[in-house]
């Protein structure tokens, strides 16, 4: 950990302005991801802006019948919220499938969205990694890549986004509210929030320098069966090999997002028309153009089989 | 005390304290966080500085440039140790590879520098400023590719013969009506113990003391002296509490050497803990194996030919993973062959991990047995019992000292409800789960090793035991206290046990499941001497004297033992030494593992539902701590079956998943229900304690039982561990 300075922000706008103004500044929320990365010298911020004091920790009903979840609402509180459990059970289930109780008590909504990849080479600072050290190359391509992405990859990076929560939010058509460095608010649909790696895998979202997440918005509930299925090598406390967040309706229609396959929660709206025709047809379209490695080609079969199980569960 | 005749009746047989399920006597220290682990000796020296270890960034090659200037100027930095300034260093007898690398690099994360600073954070930050350039050289990192170049190494005491041949294996195998010829693989495993390797080192003149975390105090002392080129008398190693070892702490490791060198360079005490990401590549691991097993049997189930070959790799000068050793002893069969071959690899040093040899060997052999049983259409429990033997199959004149394999299997089958298993795979279903049951034998040898202890009686009647034996979480403190209490006829509260210090008599140490039996036998020997001295001082005939309730008694005369020490402490020291009983009798431990799994029909996720182990391992000194050993071992076996694998980057030559996020071990949710049964057994050939080891027996066979259960559930046979869903997903039935 390299030495850094620290301040507590007074308001969201101040936090954003300070972050844009101070070179090497980072927000810190629960710290469950950032501090680990700092200890490993993967992230070396010169300045930390603590956003925990900003009153962004409430969940409020919105006028359009949805919910506005403050950026600092802890994962535990969000999963336990009565409205979330009733109307957005998918979100609750995805959260509870992630990390551990202790971590969820600290982890925040914004921090969870911005958690970084679990690519093993990203964590080893002597290995080339375009995400950690732009331009240094990618050790994972041609290396151990069982956990890594199969679609939306690039020649520069094949990492996945590891969040469970984000998969649910994507299926739920959530959007992200921010305040920019100049104090202006902005709303970004989750579909556009995370970027594919392209040539710049170190730039993971569309957030501008200094931009602070203030909330996540959920649209009005859409009903349906809410299923989150996370497939992993051990029963708990492991990142997904593949996960599926699905909302399925009686008429066979639905929304489906995947985790563990791409640099962002993966959803192909057009493929959802195939859902009534079954898992194979839908999975084929969702993963059209996938370029797996030898290590992770199994994820294609796994997505299809898991989707079949999810559809069966929704029917049953 | 020389133990060269079978044990007869002795004071341990009273079983007033020994054999009782006592809570561990060090439990309160551990649960209150007051048991000092290596990094936590805060009060033994003042003013310790902190070291941060830098591991090599290549697998093999040379350091061409090391720029320390910026790091040396960083805040708080006191010194930086490298091969350049460390002086001439030797290498310990138990180390294959040098603990401080440079300029030559022998494996990834071999230590190449230690940065010492006033605070841990400063040392870490400065380490980030050290710039190292390397010239990498090509190396060999892929066991499969290197298999063809493997050779038969010189046999040694640990490996036994490299090849064995009895009868005419080839002919018998060719003639057998039912045969199996299959190849199995096991991956590299990490010990992944909770406490990383850690050391606090302090010099006083030319005397060095290290507070560390080590299973074998005498080895560490000798190897540290040898590496530093100083006299062993000038080295003291202290290791009272150890947060898990599993063989990873049998040897002197880089933390000890670096802390010692660091303390010399900094001229003050230095503490070093290996960072978690270094554990996989800097320390040792269980080497991967490729195993070919051939079994030929008659239709009645009699094995007529059994062959087991194993390939493993290690650094130049390293050793074999002895994966065929159990096959030499476990099942009958007139025609037999085993062979082990060693390939040169430039991955980090391979070495012992919990049940070296047998753990990976049983992973393969016990799937093979399941496969043959199926071909024979004989129940796998029955098939094993048919091929039971009461003598060493390679040397039929050597009987087993005790062998309750059949009983373990029968009792296990009964308790587990084995008769509810449908032998046809893929037929049992519970909702989304395909259900299967699997069985495997458990087998691990019992090793006899000289072990010493010192016992002291003081005027208050308190008995103090001192031995360099270690407690790696196994319960050594407790069983040693029980042994001394039984021998001296005092309650266990009247016994103080002090362990893990090179100032104490040399013991067997902790490893190879030999710790419990040998170290308590050493305490037994010392207690016999102490009893004699007490009896003599109090005027008793020591043959007739009984020690009970804090008294010595003979006829109707009784005296408190404390009276013997009224004038001053009485100290007795002795060691247990063994004759040839282990040559005349094969001493082993046996068991049966039973596992039920569910395999998700859609995703292929395999989850254990329940496990049972039935063990025959001589006298169980403390059923509670023994049970803990076995359930821990079963858990480790479950990990080996379903998830544990050090993933090798065969281009770059290192274990990629080098932290506890990447190297998955079972969590609570993976282990829902475990049962352990100990068969009533005493083994008079093993020691006066009549006990044997149990901590490794528990892991041997578990993984195969899981694999066999997965097969029974799905009809898919996986021969490459770990059994992860990617290896069989496409062979599962279609999802409705
Ligand atoms: C052992 C372990 C296991 C885990 N397992 C899982 C799992 O199974 N599934 C899963 O989904 N996750 C898992 N996680 C990840 C966990 O969910 C994240 O660490 C957590 O959600 C991050 O939230 P935080 O508030 O602690 O973020 P922090 O660590 O505080 O911040 C993370 C990032 O977000 C930025 N940030 C924080 N708040 C804001 C804001 N308001 N605006 C802009 N930027 C901001 C920070 O600058 C930083 O870059 C695991 C983590 C650990 C350590
Ligand atoms: S996949 Fe991405 S994160 Fe992993 S090494 Fe390559 S560039 Fe780095």
Whether residues B191 and B313 share a domain: the answer is yes
Nearest CA in chain B to A238: B661
Percent of chain B with pLDDT over 70: 100
Which domain range does residue B600 map to?
A: 388-445+587-731
Residue with CA nearest ligand 2 atom 8: A129
Whether residues B83 and B191 share a domain: the answer is yes
pLDDT number for residue A35: 97
**Catalytic residue list contains B358:** no
* Residue B381 belongs to a domain: no
Residue position matching structure tokens 């693989």: B185
Whether residues B114 and B86 share a domain: the answer is yes
Domain boundary, last residue among B581, B603, B625: B581
* Residue B675 belongs to a domain: yes
Half-sphere exposure of B319 (CA within 13 A, CB side): 22
pLDDT number for residue B95: 98
Taking the centre of ligand 2 as the mean of its atom positions, its distance from the CA of residue A121, in whole angstroms, is 6
Percent of chain B with pLDDT over 90: 99
Domain boundary, last residue among B566, B581, B596: B581
Whether residues B600 and B629 share a domain: the answer is yes
Q: Which of B640, B650, B654 is nearest to B282 (CA)?
A: B654
Per-residue pLDDT reduced to its tens digit, B344-357: 999 999 999 999 99
A256: CB partners within 8 A, 6+ apart:
A171, A244, A245, A246, A247, A267, A271, A272, A275, A282, A286, A307, A310
At residue B736, does pLDDT exceed 80? no
pLDDT number for residue B157: 83
Higher pLDDT, B351 or A316: B351
pLDDT class of B734 with cuts at 50, 70, 90: confident
A234 vs B661: CB contact, 8 Å cut-off?
A: no
- The arithmetic mean of pLDDT across residues B65-70, rounded, is 98
pLDDT number for residue B633: 98
pLDDT number for residue B735: 80
Q: Is A258 in the pocket of ligand 1 (CB under 6 A)?
A: no
Whether residues B280 and B301 share a domain: the answer is yes
pLDDT number for residue B604: 98
Half-sphere exposure of B278 (CA within 13 A, CB side): 26
At residue B160, does pLDDT exceed 90? no
Cβ atoms within 10 Å of B637's Cβ, excluding its own:
32
Which residues of chain B neighbour A3 with C-beta distances below 8 Å? 75, 125
Whether residue A127 lies within 8 A of chain B, CB to CB, comes out as yes
* Residue B564 belongs to a domain: yes
- The arithmetic mean of pLDDT across residues A297-308, rounded, is 98
Whether residues B331 and B473 share a domain: the answer is no
Per-residue pLDDT reduced to its tens digit, A2-41: 889 999 999 999 999 999 999 999 999 999 999 999 999 9
Domain boundary, last residue among B559, B581, B603: B581
pLDDT number for residue B159: 82
- The arithmetic mean of pLDDT across residues B654-662, rounded, is 96
Of the listed ligands, the closest to the CA of A129 is 2
Q: Which residues of B564-597 are buried (b: 16+ CB within 10 A; e: fewer)?
A: bbeeeebbbbbbbbbeebbeebbbbbbbbbbbbb
Cβ atoms within 10 Å of A1's Cβ, excluding its own:
18
Q: Which of A253, A252, A251, A231 is nearest to A242 (CA)?
A: A231
At residue A57, does pLDDT exceed 80? yes
At residue B158, does pLDDT exceed 90? no
* Residue B206 belongs to a domain: yes
At residue B137, does pLDDT exceed 70? yes
Nearest to A1 among B125, B603, B664 (CB): B125
CATH number for the domain that contains residue B623: 3.30.365.10
pLDDT class of A182 with cuts at 50, 70, 90: very high
A233 vs B602: CB contact, 8 Å cut-off?
A: no
Q: Which of A241, A224, A249 is nearest to B600 (CA)?
A: A241
pLDDT number for residue B413: 98
User: What is the rounded distance in angstroms from the CA atom of residue B304 to the CA atom of residue B334?
Assistant: 6
Whether residue A144 lies within 8 A of chain B, CB to CB, comes out as yes
Contact B312, B288 (CB under 8 A): yes
Which residues of chain A neighbour B661 with C-beta distances below 8 Å? 118, 239
Per-residue pLDDT reduced to its tens digit, B329-338: 999 999 999 9
Q: Is A40 in the pocket of ligand 1 (CB under 6 A)?
A: no
Whether residues B647 and B544 share a domain: the answer is no
Whether residue A103 lies within 8 A of chain B, CB to CB, comes out as no
User: What is the rounded distance in angstroms from the CA atom of residue A47 to the CA atom of residue B192?
Assistant: 34
pLDDT number for residue A3: 86
Q: What is the mean pLDDT of chain B?
A: 97
* Residue B220 belongs to a domain: yes
User: What is the rounded distance in angstroms from the CA atom of residue A130 to the CA atom of residue B94?
Assistant: 40
pLDDT number for residue B405: 98
Number of structural domains (chain B) is: 3
Per-residue pLDDT reduced to its tens digit, B427-455: 999 999 999 999 999 999 999 999 999 99
* Residue B366 belongs to a domain: no
Whether residues B517 and B626 share a domain: the answer is no
At residue B214, does pLDDT exceed 70? yes
Nearest CA in chain B to A294: B726
At residue B39, does pLDDT exceed 90? yes
At residue A316, does pLDDT exceed 90? no
* Residue B368 belongs to a domain: no
Whether residues B425 and B565 share a domain: the answer is no
Per-residue pLDDT reduced to its tens digit, A222-258: 999 999 999 999 999 999 999 999 999 999 999 999 9
Whether residues B323 and B461 share a domain: the answer is no
At residue A269, does pLDDT exceed 80? yes
Whether residue A302 lies within 8 A of chain B, CB to CB, comes out as yes
Whether residues B319 and B406 share a domain: the answer is no
Per-residue pLDDT reduced to its tens digit, B549-605: 999 999 999 999 999 999 999 999 999 999 999 999 999 999 999 999 999 999 999
* Residue B523 belongs to a domain: yes
pLDDT number for residue A1: 63
C-alpha distances out from residue A171 to A153, A215, A247, A248, Å: 21, 17, 7, 11
Q: Which ligand 1 atom is nearest residue A43's CA?
A: 49
Whether residues B272 and B163 share a domain: the answer is yes
């Amino acid at each position: 950990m390299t030495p850094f300075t620290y301040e507590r922000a007074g308001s969201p706008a101040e936090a954003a302005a300070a972050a844009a103004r101070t070179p090497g500044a980072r927000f810190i929320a629960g710290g469950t991801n950032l501090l680990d990365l700092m200890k490993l010298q993967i992230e070396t911020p010169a300045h930390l802006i603590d956003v925990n004091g900003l009153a962004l920790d409430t969940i409020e009903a919105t006028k359009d019948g949805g919910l506005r979840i403050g950026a600092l609402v802890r994962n535990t509180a969000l999963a336990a919220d009565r409205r979330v459990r009733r109307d957005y059970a998918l979100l609750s289930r995805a959260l509870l499938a992630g990390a551990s109780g202790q971590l969820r008590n600290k982890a925040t909504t914004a921090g969870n969205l911005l958690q970084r990849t679990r690519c093993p080479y990203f964590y080893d600072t002597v290995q080339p990694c375009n995400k950690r050290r732009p331009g240094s190359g990618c050790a994972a391509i041609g290396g151990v890549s069982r956990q890594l992405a199969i679609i939306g990859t690039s020649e520069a990076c094949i990492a996945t986004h590891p969040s469970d929560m984000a998969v649910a939010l994507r299926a739920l058509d959530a959007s992200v509210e921010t305040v920019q460095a100049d104090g202006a608010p902005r709303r970004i649909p989750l579909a556009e929030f995370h970027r594919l790696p392209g040539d710049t895998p170190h730039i993971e979202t569309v957030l501008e320098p200094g931009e602070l997440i203030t909330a996540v918005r959920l649209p009005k509930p859409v009903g349906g069966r809410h299923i989150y299925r996370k497939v992993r090598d051990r029963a708990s406390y492991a990142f997904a090999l593949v996960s599926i967040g699905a909302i399925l309706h009686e008429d066979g229609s639905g929304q489906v997002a995947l985790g563990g396959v791409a640099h962002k929660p993966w959803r192909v709206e057009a493929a959802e028309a195939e859902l009534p025709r079954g898992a194979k047809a839908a999975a084929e379209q969702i993963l059209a153009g996938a370029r797996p490695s030898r290590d992770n080609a199994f994820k294609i079969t796994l997505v299809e089989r898991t989707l079949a199980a999810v559809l069966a569960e929704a029917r049953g | 005390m020389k133990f060269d005749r079978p044990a007869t009746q002795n004071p341990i047989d009273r079983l007033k304290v020994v054999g009782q399920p006592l809570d561990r006597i060090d439990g309160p220290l551990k649960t209150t966080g007051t048991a000092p682990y290596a990094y936590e000796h805060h009060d033994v020296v003042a003013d310790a500085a902190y070291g941060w270890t830098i591991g090599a960034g290549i697998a093999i090659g040379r350091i061409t440039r090391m720029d320390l200037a910026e790091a040396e100027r960083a805040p708080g930095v006191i010194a930086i140790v490298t091969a350049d300034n460390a002086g001439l260093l030797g290498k310990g007898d138990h180390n294959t590879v040098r603990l401080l690398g440079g300029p030559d690099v022998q494996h990834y994360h071999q230590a190449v520098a230690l940065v010492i600073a006033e605070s841990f954070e400063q040392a870490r930050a400065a380490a980030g400023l050290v710039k190292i350039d390397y010239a990498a050289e090509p190396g060999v990192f892929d066991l499969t590719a290197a298999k063809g170049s493997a050779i038969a190494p010189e046999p040694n005491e640990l490996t036994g013969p490299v090849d064995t041949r009895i009868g005419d294996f080839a002919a018998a195998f060719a003639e057998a009506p039912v045969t199996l010829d299959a190849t199995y693989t096991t991956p590299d495993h990490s010990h992944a113990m909770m406490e990383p390797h850690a050391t606090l080192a302090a010099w006083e003149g030319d005397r060095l003391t290290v507070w560390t975390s080590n299973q074998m105090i005498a080895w560490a002392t000798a190897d540290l002296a040898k590496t530093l080129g100083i006299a062993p008398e000038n080295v003291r190693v202290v290791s009272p509490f150890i947060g898990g070892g599993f063989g990873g702490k049998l040897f002197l490791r880089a933390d000890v050497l670096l802390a010692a060198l660091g303390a010399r360079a900094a001229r003050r005490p230095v503490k070093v803990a290996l960072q978690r990401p270094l554990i996989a590549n800097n320390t040792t691991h269980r080497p991967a194996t490729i195993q070919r097993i051939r079994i030929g049997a008659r239709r009645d189930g009699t094995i007529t030919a059994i062959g087991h070959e194993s390939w493993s790799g290690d650094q130049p000068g390293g050793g074999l993973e002895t994966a065929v050793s159990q096959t030499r002893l476990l099942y009958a069969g007139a025609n037999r062959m085993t062979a082990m071959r060693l390939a040169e690899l430039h991955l980090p040093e391979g070495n012992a991990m919990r049940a070296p040899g047998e753990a990976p060997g049983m992973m393969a052999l016990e799937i093979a047995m399941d496969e043959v049983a199926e071909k024979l259409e004989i129940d796998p429990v029955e098939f094993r019992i048919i091929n039971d033997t009461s003598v060493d199959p390679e040397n039929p004149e050597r009987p087993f000292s005790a062998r309750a394999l059949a009983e373990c299997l029968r009792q296990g089958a009964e308790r587990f409800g084995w008769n509810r298993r449908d032998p046809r795979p893929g037929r049992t279903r519970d909702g989304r789960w395909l259900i299967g049951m699997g069985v495997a034998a458990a087998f691990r040898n019992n090793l006899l090793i000289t072990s010493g202890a010192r016992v002291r009686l003081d005027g208050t009647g308190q008995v103090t035991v001192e031995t360099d034996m270690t407690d790696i979480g196994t319960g050594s403190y407790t069983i040693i206290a029980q042994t001394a209490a039984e021998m001296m006829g005092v309650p266990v509260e009247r016994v103080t046990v002090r362990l893990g210090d090179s100032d104490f008599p040399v013991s067997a140490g902790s490893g190879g499941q030999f710790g419990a039996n040998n170290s308590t036998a050493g305490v037994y020997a010392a207690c016999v001497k102490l009893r004699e001295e007490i009896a003599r001082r109090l005027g008793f005939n020591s043959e007739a004297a009984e020690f009970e309730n804090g008294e010595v008694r003979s006829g109707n005369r009784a005296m408190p033992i404390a009276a013997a020490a009224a004038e001053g402490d009485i100290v007795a020291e002795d060691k247990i030494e063994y004759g040839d009983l282990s040559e005349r009798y094969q001493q082993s431990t046996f068991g049966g593992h039973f596992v039920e799994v569910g395999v998700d029909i859609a995703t292929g996720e395999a989850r254990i539902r329940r496990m049972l182990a039935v063990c025959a391992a001589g006298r169980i000194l403390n059923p509670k701590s023994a049970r803990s050993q076995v359930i821990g071992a079963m858990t480790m076996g479950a990990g080996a079956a379903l998830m544990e694998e050090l993933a090798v980057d065969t281009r770059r030559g290192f274990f990629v998943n080098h932290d506890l996020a990447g190297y998955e071990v079972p969590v609570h949710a993976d282990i829902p229900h475990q049962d352990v049964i100990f068969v009533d057994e005493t083994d008079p050939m093993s020691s006066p304690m009549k006990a044997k080891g149990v901590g490794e027996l528990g892991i041997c066979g578990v993984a195969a039982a899981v694999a066999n259960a997965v097969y029974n559930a799905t009809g898919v046979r996986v021969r490459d561990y770990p059994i992860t869903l990617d290896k069989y997903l496409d062979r599962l039935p279609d999802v409705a």
